[in-house]
Amino acid sequence: MIHHPDVFQLVGPKVRLPPRSVLVRLKPLGMGTPYRECLSSYYQRLADVHGLTPQVLARELVFSDISQASPNKSFHFEEAWRLPSFNGLVVKEGHWPDRLKSLTRCEGLEDLTLGFLSAFVSTRGLVTKRSKWCPLCLEEDASGSTPYARLLWSFKAVTCCPKHKVNLVSSCGCPKAEWKSSGRVKCLPNVCPRCAGDLGRHDHPKATTPSTKKLLHANMVADLLVSGLANRSTTQERTLGDFLQDSVHLFMDGQAINLAGLLGVTKSTLSGWMNGKHRPEFARIIQIAELHGCSLEDVLCGRSGRAKLVLTLQKERSKEPRSRRDRGDIDWMKVVAFLKEALRSDSPLPLTKVAIQVGLRADTLRNAEPELCSAISDRWHAWRRSCTTKRDLVYADQVRMEATRLANLGHRPTWQRLVEEGFPKASIWQWRTFVQRICDEVWKEFEGSKRIA
Protein backbone atom coordinates (compact mmCIF):
# COMPACT_ATOMS: atom_id res chain seq x y z
CA MET A 1 0.00 0.00 0.00
CA ILE A 2 1.42 3.39 -0.99
CA HIS A 3 0.86 6.22 1.47
CA HIS A 4 1.13 9.90 0.92
CA PRO A 5 4.80 10.94 1.31
CA ASP A 6 3.94 13.33 4.16
CA VAL A 7 2.01 10.71 6.15
CA PHE A 8 3.86 7.75 7.74
CA GLN A 9 2.46 4.89 9.79
CA LEU A 10 4.65 4.58 12.87
CA VAL A 11 3.79 2.71 16.10
CA GLY A 12 0.51 4.41 16.80
CA PRO A 13 -1.68 6.75 14.79
CA LYS A 14 -0.65 8.62 11.70
CA VAL A 15 1.89 11.40 12.24
CA ARG A 16 2.16 14.32 9.89
CA LEU A 17 5.69 15.63 9.48
CA PRO A 18 6.27 19.36 9.79
CA PRO A 19 6.93 21.24 6.53
CA ARG A 20 10.53 21.21 5.40
CA SER A 21 12.50 24.45 5.37
CA VAL A 22 14.70 25.74 2.58
CA LEU A 23 17.37 27.04 4.95
CA VAL A 24 18.65 25.79 8.28
CA ARG A 25 16.28 26.53 11.14
CA LEU A 26 18.77 28.64 13.02
CA LYS A 27 17.74 29.52 16.55
CA PRO A 28 17.92 33.21 17.58
CA LEU A 29 20.14 33.93 20.56
CA GLY A 30 19.40 35.79 23.77
CA MET A 31 15.62 35.45 23.57
CA GLY A 32 13.80 36.35 26.78
CA THR A 33 16.62 38.61 27.97
CA PRO A 34 17.39 42.31 27.49
CA TYR A 35 20.21 41.21 25.17
CA ARG A 36 18.19 39.47 22.46
CA GLU A 37 19.76 39.17 19.02
CA CYS A 38 18.94 41.65 16.27
CA LEU A 39 17.75 40.52 12.85
CA SER A 40 20.83 41.77 11.00
CA SER A 41 23.07 39.61 13.21
CA TYR A 42 20.77 36.63 12.70
CA TYR A 43 20.93 37.03 8.94
CA GLN A 44 24.73 37.28 8.96
CA ARG A 45 25.00 34.05 10.94
CA LEU A 46 22.45 32.37 8.67
CA ALA A 47 24.46 33.24 5.57
CA ASP A 48 27.69 32.04 7.19
CA VAL A 49 26.14 28.67 8.11
CA HIS A 50 25.39 28.06 4.43
CA GLY A 51 28.82 29.26 3.31
CA LEU A 52 27.39 32.23 1.40
CA THR A 53 27.80 35.94 1.59
CA PRO A 54 24.73 37.93 2.69
CA GLN A 55 24.51 39.51 -0.77
CA VAL A 56 24.46 36.16 -2.59
CA LEU A 57 21.91 34.68 -0.19
CA ALA A 58 19.62 37.67 -0.64
CA ARG A 59 19.94 37.66 -4.41
CA GLU A 60 19.45 33.92 -4.91
CA LEU A 61 16.87 33.08 -2.25
CA VAL A 62 15.52 35.87 -0.06
CA PHE A 63 14.73 38.35 -2.84
CA SER A 64 14.97 36.02 -5.82
CA ASP A 65 11.63 37.22 -7.22
CA ILE A 66 12.91 40.80 -7.35
CA SER A 67 16.31 39.93 -8.81
CA GLN A 68 14.78 37.69 -11.48
CA ALA A 69 12.32 40.38 -12.49
CA SER A 70 15.23 42.55 -13.65
CA PRO A 71 18.02 40.15 -14.71
CA ASN A 72 19.79 42.75 -16.86
CA LYS A 73 20.17 45.19 -13.97
CA SER A 74 22.52 44.88 -11.04
CA PHE A 75 20.40 44.64 -7.91
CA HIS A 76 22.47 45.84 -4.96
CA PHE A 77 19.68 46.05 -2.33
CA GLU A 78 20.78 49.58 -1.42
CA GLU A 79 17.72 50.12 0.75
CA ALA A 80 17.62 46.60 2.17
CA TRP A 81 21.18 46.61 3.52
CA ARG A 82 20.66 49.58 5.80
CA LEU A 83 20.33 48.80 9.49
CA PRO A 84 16.90 50.48 9.86
CA SER A 85 15.57 48.13 7.18
CA PHE A 86 16.71 45.12 9.22
CA ASN A 87 16.14 46.11 12.84
CA GLY A 88 13.80 49.10 12.64
CA LEU A 89 10.03 49.46 12.47
CA VAL A 90 9.61 46.85 9.73
CA VAL A 91 5.89 46.17 9.45
CA LYS A 92 5.61 45.79 5.67
CA GLU A 93 4.48 42.39 4.48
CA GLY A 94 7.06 40.45 2.52
CA HIS A 95 10.10 42.17 4.02
CA TRP A 96 13.03 40.64 5.92
CA PRO A 97 11.18 38.94 8.85
CA ASP A 98 8.48 37.39 6.66
CA ARG A 99 10.89 36.21 3.96
CA LEU A 100 13.33 34.65 6.44
CA LYS A 101 10.47 33.03 8.35
CA SER A 102 9.18 31.35 5.18
CA LEU A 103 12.67 30.05 4.33
CA THR A 104 13.75 28.85 7.79
CA ARG A 105 10.35 27.93 9.28
CA CYS A 106 11.56 29.68 12.43
CA GLU A 107 8.87 31.56 14.35
CA GLY A 108 9.36 34.79 16.26
CA LEU A 109 11.80 36.50 13.90
CA GLU A 110 9.76 39.71 14.13
CA ASP A 111 10.83 39.84 17.79
CA LEU A 112 14.38 40.52 16.56
CA THR A 113 13.27 43.93 15.29
CA LEU A 114 11.72 47.03 16.85
CA GLY A 115 8.40 46.42 15.17
CA PHE A 116 6.60 46.45 18.52
CA LEU A 117 7.25 50.21 18.69
CA SER A 118 5.67 50.96 15.32
CA ALA A 119 2.40 52.17 16.87
CA PHE A 120 4.05 54.39 19.46
CA VAL A 121 7.12 56.26 18.18
CA SER A 122 8.38 57.90 15.03
CA THR A 123 10.96 56.23 12.81
CA ARG A 124 13.14 59.33 12.93
CA GLY A 125 16.12 58.96 15.23
CA LEU A 126 15.15 55.49 16.44
CA VAL A 127 17.71 53.14 14.86
CA THR A 128 21.37 53.93 14.48
CA LYS A 129 22.64 54.13 10.93
CA ARG A 130 26.12 52.98 11.91
CA SER A 131 26.72 49.69 13.69
CA LYS A 132 28.06 49.83 17.25
CA TRP A 133 28.89 47.15 19.76
CA CYS A 134 30.24 46.37 23.21
CA PRO A 135 33.68 44.73 22.88
CA LEU A 136 33.34 43.09 26.29
CA CYS A 137 30.07 41.40 25.33
CA LEU A 138 31.58 40.00 22.12
CA GLU A 139 34.65 38.81 24.01
CA GLU A 140 32.43 37.10 26.55
CA ASP A 141 30.42 35.42 23.76
CA ALA A 142 33.56 34.16 22.02
CA SER A 143 34.75 32.43 25.20
CA GLY A 144 31.48 30.65 25.93
CA SER A 145 29.02 30.67 23.03
CA THR A 146 28.37 32.18 19.61
CA PRO A 147 29.07 35.94 19.29
CA TYR A 148 26.09 37.96 18.14
CA ALA A 149 24.91 41.58 17.98
CA ARG A 150 22.26 42.74 20.43
CA LEU A 151 19.04 44.49 19.48
CA LEU A 152 19.78 46.90 22.31
CA TRP A 153 22.73 48.27 20.34
CA SER A 154 20.42 49.19 17.45
CA PHE A 155 18.83 52.03 19.42
CA LYS A 156 20.33 55.39 18.61
CA ALA A 157 19.61 56.55 22.17
CA VAL A 158 21.68 53.70 23.68
CA THR A 159 25.37 54.61 23.75
CA CYS A 160 26.66 52.30 26.49
CA CYS A 161 26.36 48.70 27.67
CA PRO A 162 24.31 48.36 30.88
CA LYS A 163 25.86 44.96 31.60
CA HIS A 164 29.55 45.89 31.53
CA LYS A 165 29.04 49.65 32.07
CA VAL A 166 31.25 50.76 29.19
CA ASN A 167 30.57 52.98 26.19
CA LEU A 168 29.68 51.29 22.91
CA VAL A 169 32.23 51.64 20.12
CA SER A 170 31.66 51.99 16.39
CA SER A 171 35.20 51.56 15.08
CA CYS A 172 37.77 48.82 15.39
CA GLY A 173 40.59 51.35 15.37
CA CYS A 174 42.54 49.51 12.69
CA PRO A 175 44.76 51.66 10.42
CA LYS A 176 44.00 52.01 6.72
CA ALA A 177 47.12 50.04 5.85
CA GLU A 178 45.47 46.90 7.28
CA TRP A 179 42.16 47.27 5.42
CA LYS A 180 41.19 44.45 3.07
CA SER A 181 38.77 44.27 0.18
CA SER A 182 35.18 43.37 1.02
CA GLY A 183 35.43 40.00 -0.74
CA ARG A 184 38.15 38.81 1.64
CA VAL A 185 36.31 39.56 4.88
CA LYS A 186 33.63 37.42 6.50
CA CYS A 187 30.42 39.27 7.26
CA LEU A 188 29.85 38.35 10.91
CA PRO A 189 28.84 40.42 13.97
CA ASN A 190 32.20 39.89 15.69
CA VAL A 191 34.44 40.48 12.64
CA CYS A 192 35.68 43.89 11.55
CA PRO A 193 34.47 44.54 7.97
CA ARG A 194 37.73 46.38 7.19
CA CYS A 195 40.63 44.44 8.68
CA ALA A 196 38.85 41.11 9.43
CA GLY A 197 40.02 41.34 13.04
CA ASP A 198 38.10 40.24 16.12
CA LEU A 199 35.90 42.98 17.57
CA GLY A 200 35.67 41.36 20.99
CA ARG A 201 38.46 42.63 23.19
CA HIS A 202 38.73 44.15 26.66
CA ASP A 203 41.47 46.70 25.87
CA HIS A 204 39.59 48.84 23.36
CA PRO A 205 40.64 52.47 23.95
CA LYS A 206 37.13 53.87 23.39
CA ALA A 207 35.36 51.46 25.74
CA THR A 208 35.41 54.00 28.56
CA THR A 209 33.14 54.52 31.54
CA PRO A 210 29.86 56.22 30.56
CA SER A 211 28.12 59.02 32.38
CA THR A 212 25.34 58.33 34.86
CA LYS A 213 22.69 59.68 32.51
CA LYS A 214 23.79 57.49 29.59
CA LEU A 215 23.79 54.43 31.84
CA LEU A 216 20.31 55.30 33.09
CA HIS A 217 18.97 55.54 29.53
CA ALA A 218 20.55 52.20 28.59
CA ASN A 219 18.98 50.47 31.59
CA MET A 220 15.58 51.97 30.75
CA VAL A 221 15.73 50.62 27.19
CA ALA A 222 16.98 47.23 28.44
CA ASP A 223 13.98 46.99 30.77
CA LEU A 224 11.69 47.84 27.83
CA LEU A 225 13.03 44.86 25.83
CA VAL A 226 11.93 42.39 28.54
CA SER A 227 8.60 44.07 29.23
CA GLY A 228 5.22 42.75 28.19
CA LEU A 229 5.05 45.38 25.48
CA ALA A 230 8.14 44.00 23.72
CA ASN A 231 6.92 40.43 24.08
CA ARG A 232 3.45 41.43 22.78
CA SER A 233 1.76 40.11 25.92
CA THR A 234 0.40 43.45 27.13
CA THR A 235 -3.08 44.53 26.10
CA GLN A 236 -3.15 48.12 24.88
CA GLU A 237 -5.87 49.97 26.81
CA ARG A 238 -4.33 53.43 27.23
CA THR A 239 -1.91 55.43 25.11
CA LEU A 240 0.88 57.96 25.46
CA GLY A 241 -1.66 60.75 25.07
CA ASP A 242 -3.51 59.55 28.17
CA PHE A 243 -0.25 59.56 30.14
CA LEU A 244 0.52 63.14 29.08
CA GLN A 245 -2.98 64.33 29.90
CA ASP A 246 -2.75 62.78 33.37
CA SER A 247 0.63 64.44 33.88
CA VAL A 248 -0.77 67.85 32.93
CA HIS A 249 -3.68 67.51 35.38
CA LEU A 250 -1.65 66.00 38.23
CA PHE A 251 1.60 67.97 38.15
CA MET A 252 1.08 71.02 35.92
CA ASP A 253 -2.20 72.41 37.31
CA GLY A 254 -3.85 71.77 33.97
CA GLN A 255 -1.36 73.98 32.07
CA ALA A 256 0.07 72.05 29.15
CA ILE A 257 2.52 74.86 28.41
CA ASN A 258 4.40 74.01 31.63
CA LEU A 259 4.98 70.40 30.53
CA ALA A 260 5.96 71.58 27.05
CA GLY A 261 8.55 73.89 28.62
CA LEU A 262 10.06 71.03 30.62
CA LEU A 263 10.27 68.84 27.52
CA GLY A 264 11.67 71.65 25.36
CA VAL A 265 8.90 71.50 22.74
CA THR A 266 6.11 73.82 21.67
CA LYS A 267 2.58 73.57 22.97
CA SER A 268 1.27 72.57 19.53
CA THR A 269 3.77 69.68 19.38
CA LEU A 270 2.69 68.45 22.81
CA SER A 271 -0.94 68.79 21.78
CA GLY A 272 -0.26 66.61 18.72
CA TRP A 273 1.19 63.89 20.96
CA MET A 274 -1.75 64.08 23.34
CA ASN A 275 -4.32 63.89 20.53
CA GLY A 276 -2.48 61.13 18.68
CA LYS A 277 -2.07 63.15 15.48
CA HIS A 278 1.64 62.37 15.27
CA ARG A 279 4.14 60.25 17.17
CA PRO A 280 7.17 61.56 19.10
CA GLU A 281 10.73 60.43 18.62
CA PHE A 282 12.08 57.73 20.90
CA ALA A 283 14.45 60.17 22.60
CA ARG A 284 11.39 62.18 23.68
CA ILE A 285 9.84 59.05 25.20
CA ILE A 286 12.99 58.55 27.28
CA GLN A 287 12.86 62.19 28.31
CA ILE A 288 9.23 61.86 29.44
CA ALA A 289 9.98 58.69 31.42
CA GLU A 290 13.02 60.28 33.04
CA LEU A 291 11.00 63.38 33.94
CA HIS A 292 8.29 61.32 35.66
CA GLY A 293 10.56 58.69 37.23
CA CYS A 294 8.81 55.70 35.64
CA SER A 295 9.58 53.07 33.02
CA LEU A 296 9.25 53.39 29.26
CA GLU A 297 6.50 50.77 29.26
CA ASP A 298 4.46 52.87 31.69
CA VAL A 299 4.74 55.89 29.42
CA LEU A 300 3.85 54.04 26.22
CA CYS A 301 0.96 52.15 27.82
CA GLY A 302 -0.42 55.19 29.62
CA ARG A 303 0.16 53.94 33.18
CA SER A 304 0.38 57.14 35.18
CA GLY A 305 -0.18 55.55 38.60
CA ARG A 306 3.56 55.28 39.36
CA ALA A 307 4.48 58.63 37.81
CA LYS A 308 5.97 61.39 39.91
CA LEU A 309 7.52 64.68 38.93
CA VAL A 310 11.28 64.31 39.37
CA LEU A 311 12.35 67.68 37.95
CA THR A 312 11.01 71.09 38.90
CA LEU A 313 9.82 73.75 36.54
CA GLN A 314 12.59 75.64 34.84
CA LYS A 315 13.27 79.15 35.98
CA GLU A 316 12.33 81.98 33.74
CA ARG A 317 14.99 82.80 31.24
CA SER A 318 17.14 85.78 32.02
CA LYS A 319 16.39 88.88 30.02
CA GLU A 320 20.06 89.77 29.78
CA PRO A 321 21.45 90.17 26.25
CA ARG A 322 22.98 87.03 24.69
CA SER A 323 26.11 88.90 23.64
CA ARG A 324 29.09 88.81 25.95
CA ARG A 325 29.07 92.57 26.31
CA ASP A 326 26.49 95.28 26.05
CA ARG A 327 26.49 96.88 22.63
CA GLY A 328 26.89 100.30 24.22
CA ASP A 329 30.22 99.31 25.81
CA ILE A 330 31.83 98.16 22.52
CA ASP A 331 34.43 100.36 20.85
CA TRP A 332 33.19 99.94 17.30
CA MET A 333 36.03 101.96 15.82
CA LYS A 334 38.51 99.37 17.07
CA VAL A 335 36.27 96.55 15.90
CA VAL A 336 36.01 98.02 12.39
CA ALA A 337 39.78 98.57 12.26
CA PHE A 338 40.35 94.94 13.29
CA LEU A 339 37.94 93.71 10.61
CA LYS A 340 39.74 95.70 7.92
CA GLU A 341 43.08 94.36 9.12
CA ALA A 342 41.72 90.79 8.98
CA LEU A 343 40.49 91.45 5.45
CA ARG A 344 43.99 92.56 4.34
CA SER A 345 45.88 89.78 6.11
CA ASP A 346 47.99 87.34 4.10
CA SER A 347 46.17 84.22 5.31
CA PRO A 348 42.36 84.45 5.13
CA LEU A 349 40.41 83.82 8.32
CA PRO A 350 36.80 82.66 8.75
CA LEU A 351 34.38 85.07 10.35
CA THR A 352 33.93 82.80 13.36
CA LYS A 353 37.62 83.06 14.30
CA VAL A 354 37.59 86.81 13.72
CA ALA A 355 34.60 87.11 16.05
CA ILE A 356 36.42 85.10 18.74
CA GLN A 357 39.45 87.38 18.50
CA VAL A 358 37.23 90.46 18.80
CA GLY A 359 35.26 88.96 21.69
CA LEU A 360 31.83 89.20 20.06
CA ARG A 361 29.36 86.86 18.42
CA ALA A 362 29.46 86.41 14.66
CA ASP A 363 25.79 87.40 14.36
CA THR A 364 26.52 90.67 16.17
CA LEU A 365 29.27 91.48 13.70
CA ARG A 366 27.07 90.63 10.71
CA ASN A 367 24.30 92.91 11.93
CA ALA A 368 26.66 95.81 12.67
CA GLU A 369 29.06 95.58 9.70
CA PRO A 370 27.41 93.46 6.99
CA GLU A 371 29.66 94.60 4.14
CA LEU A 372 32.96 93.91 5.92
CA CYS A 373 31.74 90.57 7.27
CA SER A 374 30.50 89.53 3.82
CA ALA A 375 33.87 90.44 2.29
CA ILE A 376 35.74 88.44 4.95
CA SER A 377 33.49 85.39 4.41
CA ASP A 378 33.74 85.59 0.60
CA ARG A 379 37.53 85.82 0.76
CA TRP A 380 37.68 82.82 3.09
CA HIS A 381 35.38 80.66 0.93
CA ALA A 382 37.25 81.58 -2.27
CA TRP A 383 40.54 80.60 -0.64
CA ARG A 384 39.07 77.30 0.54
CA ARG A 385 37.73 76.54 -2.94
CA SER A 386 41.12 77.23 -4.50
CA CYS A 387 42.85 74.95 -2.00
CA THR A 388 40.31 72.21 -2.71
CA THR A 389 40.77 72.58 -6.46
CA LYS A 390 44.56 72.36 -6.17
CA ARG A 391 44.26 69.30 -3.97
CA ASP A 392 41.90 67.60 -6.41
CA LEU A 393 44.21 68.35 -9.35
CA VAL A 394 47.19 66.83 -7.55
CA TYR A 395 45.14 63.76 -6.66
CA ALA A 396 43.88 63.47 -10.25
CA ASP A 397 47.48 63.39 -11.49
CA GLN A 398 48.29 60.60 -9.04
CA VAL A 399 45.24 58.62 -10.17
CA ARG A 400 46.19 59.10 -13.82
CA MET A 401 49.75 57.86 -13.19
CA GLU A 402 48.52 54.75 -11.36
CA ALA A 403 45.89 54.06 -14.05
CA THR A 404 48.55 54.45 -16.74
CA ARG A 405 50.78 51.94 -14.98
CA LEU A 406 47.97 49.38 -14.84
CA ALA A 407 47.07 49.97 -18.49
CA ASN A 408 50.67 49.39 -19.58
CA LEU A 409 50.57 46.09 -17.68
CA GLY A 410 47.52 45.05 -19.69
CA HIS A 411 44.96 45.55 -16.90
CA ARG A 412 41.96 47.78 -17.39
CA PRO A 413 42.11 50.39 -14.61
CA THR A 414 39.03 50.73 -12.40
CA TRP A 415 38.43 52.34 -9.03
CA GLN A 416 38.05 48.91 -7.42
CA ARG A 417 41.37 47.70 -8.84
CA LEU A 418 43.07 50.85 -7.54
CA VAL A 419 41.67 50.18 -4.08
CA GLU A 420 42.91 46.59 -4.16
CA GLU A 421 46.35 47.87 -5.17
CA GLY A 422 46.40 50.00 -2.01
CA PHE A 423 45.84 53.36 -3.68
CA PRO A 424 44.66 55.86 -1.02
CA LYS A 425 41.19 57.38 -1.10
CA ALA A 426 40.57 61.13 -1.08
CA SER A 427 37.95 63.31 0.56
CA ILE A 428 36.26 64.19 -2.71
CA TRP A 429 32.52 64.22 -3.08
CA GLN A 430 31.56 61.25 -5.24
CA TRP A 431 35.12 59.93 -5.01
CA ARG A 432 34.29 56.71 -6.85
CA THR A 433 32.84 58.56 -9.85
CA PHE A 434 35.82 60.93 -9.92
CA VAL A 435 38.37 58.08 -10.01
CA GLN A 436 36.39 55.94 -12.46
CA ARG A 437 36.10 58.80 -14.95
CA ILE A 438 39.88 59.24 -15.01
CA CYS A 439 40.39 55.49 -15.40
CA ASP A 440 38.00 55.40 -18.35
CA GLU A 441 39.83 58.27 -20.04
CA VAL A 442 43.20 56.55 -19.61
CA TRP A 443 41.87 53.25 -20.95
CA LYS A 444 40.31 54.98 -23.93
CA GLU A 445 43.65 56.59 -24.76
CA PHE A 446 45.39 53.23 -24.30
CA GLU A 447 43.01 51.47 -26.68
CA GLY A 448 43.64 54.17 -29.28
CA SER A 449 47.42 54.16 -29.13
CA LYS A 450 48.09 50.74 -27.49
CA ARG A 451 50.92 52.43 -25.67
CA ILE A 452 51.04 55.24 -23.15
CA ALA A 453 54.29 57.01 -22.55
Answer yes or no: is 139 within a domain: yes
307/346 same-domain check: no
Nearest of 182, 126, 184 to residue 158 by alpha carbon: 126
Statement: residue 91 has pLDDT above 80: no
50/191 same-domain check: yes
411/434 same-domain check: yes
State mean pLDDT over 111-116. Answer: 90
Statement: residue 234 has pLDDT above 80: no
112/172 same-domain check: yes
Counting the structural domains of the chain, the total is 3
Write out pLDDT tens, residues 129-148: 888 999 999 999 988 889 99
197/251 same-domain check: no
Answer yes or no: is 7 within a domain: no
Answer yes or no: is 241 within a domain: yes
Domain boundary, last residue among 190, 216, 231: 231
Q: What is the pLDDT of residue 12?
A: 56
Q: What DSSP string describes 298-346?
A: HHHTT--TT----SPPPPPPP-S-SSSS-GGG--HHHHHHHHHHHHHSS
338/260 same-domain check: no
Q: Which residue spans within 22-163 are E strands per DSSP? A: 160-161
Element holding 220 (H helix, E strand): helix 212-225
Cα separation of 157 and 170, whole Å? 14
Answer yes or no: is 255 within a domain: yes
Write out pLDDT tens, residues 380-398: 999 989 998 999 999 999 9
Write out pLDDT tens, residues 323-336: 444 444 577 888 88
Answer yes or no: is 156 within a domain: yes
CATH number of the domain where residue 268 is located:
1.10.260.40
Ranked by mean pLDDT, the top range of 213-222, 262-271, 333-342, 406-415 is 213-222
Domain boundary, last residue among 278, 297, 315: 315
250/124 same-domain check: no
Give the phi and the psi of residue 326 in degrees, each rounded to 5: -70, 140
Statement: residue 159 has pLDDT above 90: yes
Look up the domain containing 364 and give its range.
325-453
Write out pLDDT tens, residues 408-445: 888 899 988 888 888 888 888 788 888 999 999 999 88
State mean pLDDT over 87-109. Answer: 80
Contact 45, 184 (CB under 8 A): no
Q: What is the pLDDT of residue 45?
A: 93
93/32 same-domain check: yes
Statement: residue 26 has pLDDT above 80: yes
* Average pLDDT taken over every residue of the chain: 83
Q: What DSSP string describes 183-206?
A: GGS---TTB-TTT--B---S--TT
Contact 105, 25 (CB under 8 A): yes
Answer yes or no: is 361 within a domain: yes
331/188 same-domain check: no
State mean pLDDT over 236-263. Answer: 89
CB neighbourhood size of 235 (10 A): 6
Q: What is the pLDDT of residue 453?
A: 45
Domain boundary, last residue among 231, 259, 285: 231
65/203 same-domain check: yes
Answer yes or no: is 3 within a domain: no
Answer yes or no: is 17 within a domain: no
Q: What is the pLDDT of residue 81?
A: 55
102/164 same-domain check: yes
Q: What is the pLDDT of residue 315?
A: 37
